[in-house]
Amino acid sequence: MKIYLNGQLVSKENAKISIFDHGLLYGDGVFEGIRSYDSLIFKMKEHIDRLYNSADAIKLVIPMTKTKMIAAVIKTLKANKLRDAYIRLVVTRGPGDLGLDPRKCSRPTVFIITDKIALYPKEFYEHGLELVIVSTNRNLVEALDPRIKSLNYLNNILAKNEAIEAGTEEAIMLTHEGYVAECTGDNIFIVKDGQVRTPPVDIGALDGITKNAVIDLCEETGLPFQETLMKKDDLYEADEVFLTGTAAEIVPVIKIDSRRIGNGKPGKMTLRLIELFRRLTKVDGVRY
């Protein structure tokens, strides 16, 4: 496996960064998870724009243009001879000292990993996923803007630990006011009375690329859609529930807190959106 690291392709064994890198010491950096399908990098522009917007938000200057970043991603994919891949693109503050001061970091670190990924077993896409609502709340928006896709994922990891202890693969996180925000790695949607609904980003949900693709699909195909505040009872009483994410794509949910959702099977609207999304992954992106 070849890794892109600061302008060079190196072997996995030689892909090393400084232990003084502030990405390691403090989670000071940003990242994107991207998918390629049959040599098409899905929603590449949107992912690159979000990466640079996240970097701008934390005053991190990425030491290359967007065009060169896209070229570096393609170069890494080709070096690993991957047509279908998961791409992890990371930019850290770079090596500094043991203090927090970002001015002590002379140059950001950029690395790109391309590999295979299977976030959930195939059976979950066919039969549905079980979730739990956990006690770990989503970060306050005033403390950490959810539009920043940063390397600091401790909040999500704490929630993930609760899911593991409950015997499930994923957890639903609420805001401190009790509204549904998102899962540890995915956005969440419900279907109720024929309408697709998802929480607004301004309460603490990531502005997901796949989430926005699903919203666009709803608008393009005439499926009723609304961004709205939801409490946990809205989840329990939903006709359908599904998750979206770059790695997850669209995965149906059949139980939440051991309560059956709808008829306990992947819903018709969820299955329709999965089909539409799979078509989209064949045409919307950058070919290499």
The pLDDT value recorded for residue 133 is: 98
Least confident span in 55-69, 114-128, 233-247: 114-128
Catalytic-residue membership of 232: no
Domains belonging to the chain, first-starting first, are 2-115 (3.30.470.10), 122-281 (3.20.10.10)
Distance (Å, whole) CA 279 – CA 276: 5
Residue 147 has pLDDT above 90, yes or no: no
**Which residue is catalytic, options 2, 43, 149, 211?**
149
* Cα-based torsion angle of the residue sequence 144, 186, 169, 162 in order, rounded to the nearest 10 degrees: 20
Q: Residue 24: in which H helix or E strand, if any? A: helix 22-26
The pLDDT value recorded for residue 203 is: 93
The pLDDT value recorded for residue 146 is: 85
What residues have CB less than 8 Å from 184, skipping those under 6 apart?
A: 156, 157, 159, 160, 163, 170, 171, 173
Distance (Å, whole) CA 235 – CA 148: 26
Q: pLDDT by residue (tens digit) across 154-200?
A: 999 999 999 999 999 999 999 999 999 999 999 999 999 999 999 99
**In this structure, what token pair is assigned to residue 167?**
């015997």
Q: pLDDT by residue (tens digit) across 12-34?
A: 999 999 999 999 999 999 999 99
What residues have CB less than 8 Å from 36, skipping those under 6 apart?
A: 42, 77, 82, 83, 84, 85, 87, 285, 288
The pLDDT value recorded for residue 233 is: 98
What's the CA angle centered on 213, arms 207 and 217, to 5 degrees?
Answer: 135
Residue 73 has pLDDT above 90, yes or no: yes
**Considering only CA atoms, which of 17, 26, 19, 20 is closest in space to residue 152?**
26
Q: Which amino acid does the sequence have at 18?
A: S
Mean pLDDT of 218-228: 97
